[in-house]
C-alpha cells in the first residue's frame, strides 16, 4: 500500500501501519464508502474538516489495494516526520507528488488546512494542477467523521466522478451536500443506506450488551 518510503527499517513502517490501523479500528465505529472508488492512479481532493481525515483515507486505500500518499503542511510534517513512512509528503514536494499520483492515490486537500465541519471553504488549485501534470483523474471526495446513534464516531467517504480542475469546487460541494443529506435523513441507529463498510470499527457497548440482554429477558420473563 506504500511506495518510495524511507528504507533501512521496514519493521518500523509495519509497526506504524499497525498502530494507525489499530487507532482507526479502535476509536471509530467503522468506515463506510460510496461511489466509484479509483482503481489506478488518481488525485483525491477531499474536504478537510476532521483530525481523522488522513487516517481514514489511508485505511480506505488499504481496503481498496491502492498505494497511498498525502500532501501535508510542512510544519505538521516536521512535527510528525515518521508519517513519511505512510506516504506523507510536504505540500511543496510537487514533483514527488506527481510521481506518486501516477502509481496510486495522492490526497491533496483543496482547502489547504483543517476547517470546522460545514460547507466547503475556498479551494486552492493545487489538486487540479497535480492531476493534470500526472495525467490522472481528479476525484472529488466528501468525508465526514460524525457521531450518530452509536457510542463511537463513524466515518463516511463519498467518491464522486472525476472532474476537470475548474469543476472541482462545485463538484466537491455537491458531494459534500449529498453526504450531509444522507446523514441528516437517515436513521442514526441503522447503517447508512447505499454505503459499504470498508473498515470495521469498535462495537458500541449497547451492541455488545444486546445478546446478554435478550437472554436475560428470556430467562426472567421481564417485558417492557
Q: What does the pLDDT look like over 105-143, one tens digit per residue?
A: 999 999 988 888 888 888 899 999 999 999 999 999 999
> How far apart are alpha carbons 191 and 178 in whole angstroms?
16
Residue 46 lies in a domain: yes
Q: What is the pTM of this model?
A: 0.88
Residue 1 lies in a domain: no
Q: Quick count: other Cβ atoms within 10 Å of Cβ 21?
A: 15
Q: Is the pLDDT of residue 36 over 80?
A: yes
Nearest to 140 by CA among 88, 177, 112, 176: 176
The pLDDT of residue 123 is: 86
Residue 148 lies in a domain: yes
CATH number assigned to the domain comprising residue 117: 3.40.1130
Which is more confident, 101 or 215? 101
Nearest to 50 by CA among 140, 111, 122: 111
Residue 2 lies in a domain: no
> How far apart are alpha carbons 130 and 169 in whole angstroms?
15
Residue 4 lies in a domain: no
Residue 113 lies in a domain: yes
CA distances from 45 to 16, 23, 56 (A): 25, 23, 14
DSSP-assigned states of every residue in 180-205: HHHHHTS-TTSPPTT-EEEEE-PPPH
> How far apart are alpha carbons 89 and 6 in whole angstroms?
12
Q: Quick count: other Cβ atoms within 10 Å of Cβ 186?
A: 16
pLDDT digits (tens, 9 = 90+) for 164-181: 999 999 999 999 999 999
Which is more confident, 78 or 210? 78
Residue 5 lies in a domain: no
Containing domain of residue 191, as a range?
Answer: 10-220
How many domains, the chain? 1
Residue 3 lies in a domain: no
Amino acid at each position: 500500500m506504500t511506495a518510495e518510503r524511507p528504507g533501512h527499517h521496514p519493521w518500523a513502517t509495519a509497526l506504524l501501519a499497525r498502530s494507525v490501523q489499530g487507532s482507526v479500528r479502535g476509536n471509530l465505529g467503522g468506515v463506510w464508502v460510496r461511489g466509484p472508488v479509483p482503481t489506478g492512479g488518481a488525485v483525491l481532493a477531499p474536504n478537510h474538516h476532521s483530525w481523522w481525515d488522513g487516517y481514514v483515507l489511508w485505511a480506505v486505500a488499504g481496503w481498496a489495494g491502492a498505494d497511498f500518499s498525502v500532501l501535508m503542511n510542512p510544519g505538521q510534517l516536521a512535527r510528525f516526520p515518521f508519517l513519511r513512512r505512510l506516504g506523507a509528503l510536504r505540500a511543496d514536494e510537487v514533483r514527488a507528488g506527481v510521481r506518486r499520483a501516477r502509481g496510486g492515490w495522492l490526497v491533496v486537500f483543496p482547502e489547504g488546512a483543517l476547517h470546522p465541519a460545514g460547507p466547503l471553504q475556498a479551494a486552492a488549485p493545487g489538486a487540479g494542477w497535480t492531476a493534470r501534470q500526472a495525467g490522472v483523474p481528479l476525484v472529488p471526495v466528501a468525508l465526514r467523521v460524525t457521531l450518530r446513534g452509536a457510542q463511537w464516531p463513524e466515518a463516511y467517504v463519498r467518491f464522486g466522478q472525476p472532474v476537470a480542475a475548474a469543476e472541482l469546487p462545485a463538484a466537491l460541494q455537491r458531494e459534500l451536500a449529498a453526504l450531509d443529506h444522507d446523514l441528516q435523513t437517515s436513521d442514526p441507529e441503522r447503517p447508512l443506506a447505499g454505503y459499504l463498510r470498508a473498515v470495521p470499527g469498535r462495537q458500541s457497548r449497547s451492541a455488545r450488551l444486546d445478546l446478554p440482554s435478550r437472554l436475560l429477558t428470556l430467562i426472567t420473563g421481564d417485558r417492557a
